Copies of this chain bind each other. A is one copy, B any other.
Amino acid sequence: MTASGGDTQHGIRRRNLARVLRTVAAQGPVSRPAVAARIGLTRAGVAPLVDELLRAGLLVETGRAAPSGRGRPGSELAVSDRGPAGIGAEIGVDHLAVCAVDLRGRIRARAATDAVNRHSDPGPVLRRLSALLAEVTAEIAAEGLRPAGLAVAVPGLVARGTTTVVHAPNLGWRAADLAPGLASVTAPGRDARGIPLTVENEANLGALAELRLGGDGDGRPGPPPDFVHVSAEIGIGAAVVVDGQLLRGARGFAGELGHVPVYPDGHPCDCGGRGCLEQYAGERAVLRAGGLTPERSAAAHPGPGARIALLARRAADGDAATVRALHEAGTALGIALAGAVNLLDPRAVVLGGALAGLAPWILPSLERELALRTAVAADPGRAGGPLVTVSRLGADGPLLGAAHAALQAVLDDPFASCTSAHSPRS
């Protein structure tokens, strides 16, 4: 999503507005001269852009004098904590969640509910999600924020550039366009302003969150620009990031790690294949291997993360079957990831979603397989395979990634969705 307009004067101005906004968003409170230096414009060139963004309420003056010694001291600039908010939503197999993030990247509202979405129709699921969205939207409106866009994370394949879920096996959805079911939020009639809708695979959004928020803010860096992000909820997905960009594949279906064959003659999979990773490292497979019944566990421990917490608890207590099940899940993950690493040569593998919470029991066997099976590409002096890291964001990744993706459109083109009255003067 980049600002349109080509090389016309209007297009250049729109791009420069975006650069100023993104610079202030990334740097925190910052002086006008620092912004100018950062984006390579003169102070005189930056001034009208800043004024435009101040008038639109996207930037604010902090009131604190900028420390710069040269010229008339000006107030430092910051992005507004009012104005546009990115709305992220997540449709999980057993939960729905919504959050709103402001331009400063802070979560301003959040709502979630347990749900039984497995093999449900999209209609009722989207109605419940719309209710959650209305709740969050009302909450942020009271603080002077308005939705700038909505991105929805789904555990399935989304046709590239569309709002259609082509196949979400664990929801049982096929060829489901989510736009009509969310119209009450995104196109609420001609009096209210509509907002753009994005539907995206949850692993892709988890990877975007990792790219943006993966560092810990205390200097620990986020992931390198080439990594494979493994995400698990009920199913297992992955996202491939190359040079800081998602690799989406020809149709938008890249990253189906859960259906990479691990034991080709192994367990049959719902997808029609055999021995897919999901049959060894998916939540249901691990519960079963640990001596539990997935259905009974789901009934006794409903809600997102509840069975993962159960598994972690049993493993921490030393339950042998659970420890063995997680060890075997790690082995299967290591085999599948060895294939991915041999094919893609990423700098790192990031374990996100539910896997983050189970890392202590999964990592040893995973890393062993990965090192064993990627030795052909081992650098001299390095044990082999890339660095495996565990996401700090855990199961929150896809939801946060969705909210940030929804906000990105504003950062890329601050006035794109404005009526002519609000558009920048060219």
Residues of B within 8 A of A1 (CB): none
Whether B335 contacts A375 by the Cβ 8 Å rule is no
Would A226 and B250 be within 8 Å (CB), given that A339-B260, A376-B272 are in contact? yes
Whether A238 contacts B343 by the Cβ 8 Å rule is yes
Q: How far is the CA of A347 from the CA of B253 in the complex (A)?
A: 11
- Interface status of A284 (Cβ within 8 A of chain B): no
- Interface status of A338 (Cβ within 8 A of chain B): yes
Q: How far is the CA of A289 from the CA of B347 in the complex (A)?
A: 37
Would A376 and B339 be within 8 Å (CB), given that A242-B247, A346-B250 are in contact? no
Number of copies of chain A assembled together = 2
- Other-chain contact of A249, B262, B271, B274, B346 (Cβ < 8 Å): B346
Residues of B within 8 A of A191 (CB): none
Whether B169 contacts A256 by the Cβ 8 Å rule is no
Whether A254 contacts B157 by the Cβ 8 Å rule is no
Closest B residue to A248 by CB, please name it: B345
In chain A, positions 237-255 with a C-beta closer than 8 Å to chain B are 238, 240, 242, 247-255
Q: How far is the CA of A169 from the CA of B377 in the complex (A)?
A: 10
Residues of B within 8 A of A261 (CB): 262, 335, 338-339, 373
In chain A, positions 335-354 with a C-beta closer than 8 Å to chain B are 335-336, 338-340, 342-347
In chain A, positions 278-295 with a C-beta closer than 8 Å to chain B are none
Whether B335 contacts A253 by the Cβ 8 Å rule is no
Residues of B within 8 A of A338 (CB): 260-261, 273
- Interface status of A166 (Cβ within 8 A of chain B): yes
Whether B272 contacts A343 by the Cβ 8 Å rule is no
A194 to chain B, nearest CB (A): 29
- Interface status of A257 (Cβ within 8 A of chain B): yes
Whether A273 contacts B375 by the Cβ 8 Å rule is yes
The size class of the interface chain A forms with chain B is 35 or more
- Interface status of A380 (Cβ within 8 A of chain B): yes
Whether A379 contacts B251 by the Cβ 8 Å rule is yes
Q: How far is the CA of A20 from the CA of B374 in the complex (A)?
A: 45
- Other-chain contact of A377, B253, B336, B340 (Cβ < 8 Å): B253
Residues 7-33 of A, flagged 1 when their CB comes within 8 A of B and 0 if not, give 000000000000000000000000000
Residues 307-339 of A, flagged 1 when their CB comes within 8 A of B and 0 if not, give 000000000000000000000000000011011
- Interface status of A174 (Cβ within 8 A of chain B): yes
Residues 160-201 of A, flagged 1 when their CB comes within 8 A of B and 0 if not, give 000000110100001100000000000000000000000000
Q: How far is the CA of A344 from the CA of B259 in the complex (A)?
A: 12
Closest B residue to A347 by CB, please name it: B250
In chain A, positions 361-397 with a C-beta closer than 8 Å to chain B are 369, 372-377, 379-380, 386
Residues of B within 8 A of A424 (CB): none
> Which 5 residue pairs are nearest across A and B when measured between Cβ atoms?
A249-B345, A271-B376, A256-B342, A272-B375, A253-B345
A-B contact pairs, 15 of them (CB 8 A): A157-B376, A166-B377, A174-B380, A226-B249, A253-B377, A257-B343, A259-B342, A260-B338, A261-B335, A271-B373, A271-B375, A271-B376, A273-B372, A273-B373, A273-B374
**5 new A-B pairs (CB below 8 Å) besides A167-B377, A264-B335, A339-B340?**
A247-B247, A249-B344, A251-B345, A257-B343, A261-B335
